[in-house]
Amino acid sequence: MAPRIAGSVLLLSAVLLVGGHHAPIVSAASIVAKVIRDREMDRLKEKFGEDMGSGYPGDPKTKTWLRAQLLKNRLAILGLPSCVRVKWSTVRRLRDL
């Protein structure tokens, strides 16, 4: 496994064949991904000066923040901050409310 840097995110790449069984490396990769994601969300919260929630589609804070961003941009998806996945179905649903 060789770590690589892509932007500000550390990527770990590995090929693992475990025949459907859970392996410690899979668990470790999941934890690393969550820690990196949480740090990025903290950075974005600081950048925007707002609590945007966890960033997951079911989070009410995330939905509230996304809807506010859409309203600021007159419901134009292309005007959203670059951290928002504009093809995310949650964005489209909120826009169409």
Q: What are the tens digits of pLDDT across the range 4-35? A: 444 444 544 554 555 555 677 778 888 888 89
Token look-up 């025949």 returns 19
Q: Look up residue 18 and give its amino acid.
A: V
* All domains of the chain in start order, with CATH: 1-49 (no CATH), 51-97 (1.10.10)
Tokens of 63: 């939905």
Is 65 exposed, middle or buried, given 0-12, 13-18 or 19+ CB atoms closer than 10 A? buried
Q: What are the tens digits of pLDDT across the range 65-87? A: 988 888 887 777 777 888 888 88
Backbone angles phi, psi at 5, to 5 degrees: -105, 130
